[in-house]
Amino acid sequence: MLFVLKIGGSILFPAIEENTKILKDFCKIIVDLAKKGHKIAVVAGGGAPARFYIRILENLGLSSFESDIIGINITKIHAQLMAYYTKKIALNQGIHVSDHVCENALEVLRELKNNDICFSGGFYPGQSTVAVASIIAEAINADAILLATNVDGVYDKDPKIHSDAKKFAKITVVDMRKILVEQSAKAGMYKLIDFVAIKIMERSGIPAVIFDGRNPFNLCSIVEHLVNRDMEKLTEIGTLIMS
């Protein structure tokens, strides 16, 4: 199958410290999936390092555009780190890994012609890396968009704040948009997905799964359930977003 995998920066780098375990585990799992015949376009998020710099830019009174450019650069560093490490561990394993960080979806299309795995960070100001994942998925006609984040699915409100928040097993893109509209009116909104991503998911019809990436091995289960078309098991460990 052909996947786009977005790994949240909050998973890769939840804090500014040298913790490489999650990053290494994800790279190893991605290599194993490629060895099984899957192709994967990976998108890396910005996490704590991006937020650290974005706060500095705010203190300096710089613009949102400038903050986004710095955020994008941090995501690209994370993508490059993953690309180098994945290429290193994939050596002599019969698969091809691109260590070029793609700057747009056309580059992803090109890299996946000759490689099983390629990497991107952010693309343009004004959106998130979930939007990047959706744009890539549409460009390469992916089977699914896999969103590894630090919650185990989509809730009707932020589960980290509200103990009575309810998790959806499945949700339509239209309902996802409604939640986003309600939440974006409030401070500290529950941010899992952005409007650009919603729009692209809606028109492409490519299903997305939001799952808990704090355990990278959840990715193996998600892929297995997708291959077996076992949607019941899939929704036990994540939320399925479909059109």
Residue (72 or 208) nearer to ligand UTP, CB: 72
Residue (95 or 131) nearer to ligand UTP, CB: 131
Residue (50 or 82) nearer to ligand UTP, CB: 50
CB of 63 to ligand UTP, least distance (A): 11
CB of 95 to ligand UTP, least distance (A): 25
CB of 124 to ligand UTP, least distance (A): 5
Q: What is the 3-state secondary structure of the chain?
A: CEEEEEECHHHHCCCCCCCCHHHHHHHHHHHHHHHCCCEEEEEECCHHHHHHHHHHHHHCCCCHHHHHHHHHHHHHHHHHHHHHHHHHHCCCCCCCEEEEEECCHHHHHHHHHHCCEEEECCCCCCCCHHHHHHHHHHHHCCCEEEEEECCCCCECCCCCCCCCCCECCEEEHHHHHHHHHHHHCCCCCCCCCCHHHHHHHHHHCCCEEEEECCCCCHHHHHHHHHHCCCHHHHHHCEEEEEC
CB of 76 to ligand UTP, least distance (A): 9
CB of 58 to ligand UTP, least distance (A): 11
Residues that bind ligand UTP (CB under 6 A): 8-10, 45-47, 50, 67-68, 71-72, 75, 122-125, 127-129, 131-132, 149
Residue (103 or 143) nearer to ligand UTP, CB: 103
Residue (3 or 123) nearer to ligand UTP, CB: 123
